[in-house]
Amino acid sequence: MNLKNILFFNILFGFLFLSSCVNGQFSEVKNMTQSEFKKTYDKRKLAQILDVRTAKEIAEGKITGAAELDYFDPEFKKKIEAMNFDKSKPMVVYCAAGGRSSKATNILVDLGFKVVYNLEGGYSAYK
């Protein structure tokens, strides 16, 4: 390996290391299966759940206790900040099937949330 390649890999590693760090603290995004969610939810160990579906979708049913915020809202990021969630506590995010919630988890990490779970299969799998 020449010096140029070593330098490149060191810079790449440093970038990847720093990109996993938000506000000087590590953040983590995980997928949560339906069975993991139900076990945890039934024991009331989840303090924060966010439903990122549209109002029409939510009208068809939702997980009890979930906060609601439409992912397609142009002010989505600003409104999450205004909701005053505890960024140090785990947050579970879900949508209809997992696509929007997966994107929303990245926004939550950018805002400084420490542990964010994407509920696999979304509400469709939950019900």
Q: Which domains does the chain have, with CATH numbers?
A: 23-126 (3.40.250.10)
Lowest mean pLDDT among 39-48, 49-58, 88-97: 39-48
With a CB cutoff of 8 Å and minimum separation 6, the contacts of 105 are 29, 93, 116, 117, 118
Res 43: pLDDT: 66
Q: How far apart are CA 57 and CA 69, in angstroms?
A: 12
- Closest by CA to 23, choosing from 99, 109, 118, 84, is 109
pLDDT(106) > 60: yes
Q: How far apart are CA 12 and CA 68, in angstroms?
A: 38
Res 41: pLDDT: 75
pLDDT(95) > 90: yes
